[in-house]
Structure 1
Amino acid sequence: MAAPRVTPVTHVVFDVDGVLIDTEHLYTDIIQGIVGKYGKTFTMDIKVKQMGRKEPEAAKVVIESLDLPLTVDQYLQMSHEQQEKLFPSVELLPGAECLVKHLHKNGVPIATATGSHTQSFELKTSGHKDLFSLFHHCVLSGDDPECKHGKPAPDCFLLAAQRFPDNPDPSKVLVFEDAPNGVEAAHAAGMQCVWIPHKGINKETHRHLATLVLESLEDFRPEMFGLPSYDS
């Protein structure tokens, strides 16, 4: 199946973890630290299944996949304790600051849509408040009452579009994602998607759903989608 055709867009929505900020390796370390206590290994196959989902759903995937003797609440408490230590110092990924500032400067409406809940999002972005203040809004599907289902359902991306003042047609919205679940969600929402696969993920599994597959945000050229070029 061929990838979706590139057409001009007017609005941009970013996933956060693994696209704008370098948290995915921290999540891996945190989860392995938890499951390792029970002699288990957090594999890439499990990571792919839980990436992008609402936090309780992601926790359930890990618990059930590894048959852990933990409730979701117990697992999340252990995870949150480590997040509070590690997340405030998280760094931006290459190309993130440049692209976000460029789009904002040129009047392109931008938003984020993530599976995170408010507390986690604030921890992760606390060192980059100036950059995240440039977004028109942030959809935090982890605890947003209007977001009924996490990725791979399209809810968070559709909400992100609806919350722009002009409520653009989904076909005019470009999504940036790193997780296969997120690519599925963008496709289900009827949006084009630039996929920047997390290291270790098989690029062939979801290539047909992504409009464009890149190694880094640094490789993105806005003019491909009818957006202002870096030279403008």
Structure 2
Amino acid sequence: MSKYRAVSHVIFDMDGILLDTEPLYTKAIQNVVGRYGKTFTWEHKSQMMGLQTAESSKFIVKALDLPITWEEYNSIILEEYKITLANPEIIPGAKRLVHHLSKHNIPISVATSSSQDSFELKSAKHKDFFKLFDHIVCGGSDPEVKQGKPAPDIFLVSASRFPDKPNPEKCLVFEDAPNGVQAAVNAGMQVVMCPDENVPSELRKNATMVVNSLDDTPVEAFGLPELIK
């Protein structure tokens, strides 16, 4: 008997899963905190990945003891993002998997902690790609997403917006961040983690499956059409 449950719908995180934005986020944050003589480390990043912008701003100001309010930092970093995050690339393995699922008529969605404005900025040059998804949930600005990851809200909202409203156990989530993995688990969904190489093993253990690239995922284990390489 398989340790995995068959699913009918797939939900993707965006940053670090579909778009190669994580190095750009690191650059933007260091550009800002560097003005105050601070260093943004991997330890900081691992704790804030997947958080909504306001929550991540509160975390940075407190963790790095910045001499400004989180609201001031938030305003500065949003301006920095407009410069740094304007042209991210689609991650190749994600492109193959998304096109494969779309071709086989598997319902797919995006559940990102970004706001609608941030999503528009990052996806502007990839409109055809994002048209493949049934819907996009932008947790940073969506009024139905009451709490950010690791709360389950964003994934439950995303599931509810498919026309047939699948039960959570019928949804498979793709995530890169520990906070996102926990959100999927809290939603009662299986989750495939494709983490940064710096994510330690103890922060991967809650994932249903861990892969190095999305197109390395044996999706047939979840009852989905096999991705032939």
TM-score by length of 2: 0.95
- Corresponding residue number in structure 2 for 1:228: 225
1:147 and 2:145 correspond: yes
Residue among 191, 196, 208 paired with 1:193: 191
Tell me the SS of whatever aligns to 1:58: helix
1:83 and 2:77 correspond: no
In the alignment, is the contact (CA less than 8 A) between 1:183 and 1:193 conserved in 2?
A: yes
- Corresponding residue number in structure 1 for 2:37: 39
CA distance in 1, matches of 2:12, 2:83: 25
- Corresponding residue number in structure 2 for 1:166: 164
Deviations 1:59-91 (A, max 9, x none): 101110011112223212222222222323210
| Aligned pairs (5 A) from 1:50-69 | 50-69=48-67
- Corresponding residue number in structure 2 for 1:100: 98
CA distance in 2, matches of 1:83, 1:42: 16
In the alignment, is the contact (CA less than 8 A) between 1:5 and 1:211 conserved in 2?
A: no
1:214 and 2:211 correspond: yes
Residue among 125, 131, 134 paired with 1:133: 131
Computed over aligned residues only, the root mean square deviation of the Cα atoms, in angstroms, reads 1.5
Give the AA of the match of 2:95: E
CA distance in 2, matches of 1:230, 1:201: 26
In the alignment, is the contact (CA less than 8 A) between 2:12 and 2:111 conserved in 1?
A: yes
Q: Displacement of 1:201 after TM fit?
A: 1.1
Runs of at least 5 residues in structure 1 that lack an aligned partner in the other structure = none
CA distance in 1, matches of 2:204, 2:61: 25
In the alignment, is the contact (CA less than 8 A) between 1:13 and 1:175 conserved in 2?
A: yes
Give the AA of the match of 1:160: S
Tell me the SS of whatever aligns to 2:86: helix
CA distance in 2, matches of 1:203, 1:17: 21
CA distance in 2, matches of 1:73, 1:217: 36
1:7 and 2:1 correspond: no
Q: Percent identity?
A: 50
Runs of at least 5 residues in structure 2 that lack an aligned partner in the other structure = none
In the alignment, is the contact (CA less than 8 A) between 2:52 and 2:139 conserved in 1?
A: yes
Deviations 1:102-140 (A, max 9, x none): 111111000010110011100111111001011111111
CA distance in 1, matches of 2:201, 2:162: 31
CA distance in 1, matches of 2:201, 2:216: 16
Residue among 141, 155, 158 paired with 1:157: 155
Q: Would you say how many aligned residue pairs link Structure 1 and Structure 2?
A: 228
CA distance in 2, matches of 1:189, 1:63: 29
